[in-house]
Amino acid sequence: MAKTVVLERKPLSLSERTYLPQIATGLKTTFSNMFKEKVTLQYPEEKPAIPKNYRGIPTLVKDPNGREKCVSCQLCEFVCPPKAIRITPGSVPEGETDRAHVEKAPQEFEINMLRCIYCGYCQEVCPEEAIFLQDEYSSSGYSREEMINNKEKLYELGGTLPDAHYKWDKKKNEEDLGNDH
């Protein structure tokens, strides 16, 4: 059978019984913080500074002429680790002569933001520079369906970005070909 050991506690001193040192320490902390610069932001009106290498919400972007950059190659869908991207390829609408060299366009393009891990692989692998990770970090919804961004919402969030390559501008391509000869 185990032997019971009784430990004797030493009696509390007067300061320990009145908690005065602990109260003084708490007041000292409070007063030292009262005169510091405020760090509270009035969110969502004020937002914190975002680091330069921040990876935010993936979006689709259009070229400066308002054309769809995505050619439905599906590389982003294949490289996505959590399989958050779903693309249904479709044909390019007839009558768009400025996109004659493009074979496909996305009929449907969805990114499930509940699955997305913000890795940035989709942006890195996109040969057309159609996917960009924006500086947006606040995404919310009341249901799971609201967290699935369809093609229209992705273009709304992404907007139009300048195109450094002018890949689809025939004039620019013709000038480049003329300079090569």
Q: Which pLDDT score, from 0 to 100, does residue 68 have?
A: 86
**Spans of all domains in the chain:** 58-163
More confidently predicted of 83 and 91: 83
**d(C-alpha 60, C-alpha 136), whole Å:** 13
CB-based contacts of 15, cutoff 8 Å, min separation 6: 21
Q: 24: pLDDT confidence band, cut at 50, 70 and 90?
A: very high
Token pair belonging to 152: 């229209």
Q: Report yes or no: 98 and 105 within 8 Å, Cβ to Cβ.
A: no
Mean pLDDT, residues 102-114 taken together: 90
- Peptide linkage before 44 cis (omega within 30 of 0): yes
58-163: in CATH 3.30.110.40: no
Q: Which pLDDT score, from 0 to 100, does residue 177 have?
A: 58
> Worst-scoring range by mean pLDDT, 8-12, 88-92, 161-165?
161-165
**d(C-alpha 72, C-alpha 53), whole Å:** 27
- Checking if the pLDDT of 164 tops 70, the result is no
More confidently predicted of 38 and 23: 23
Q: Which pLDDT score, from 0 to 100, does residue 171 have?
A: 46
Burial of 71 (0-12, 13-18, 19+ CB in 10 A): buried
CB-based contacts of 99, cutoff 8 Å, min separation 6: 67, 92, 105, 168
Nearest in space to 122 (alpha carbons), one of 61, 150, 81: 81
Q: 161: pLDDT confidence band, cut at 50, 70 and 90?
A: confident
Please provide the DSSP assignment of 128-154 as one string.
T--EEE-S------SSTGGGEE-HHHH
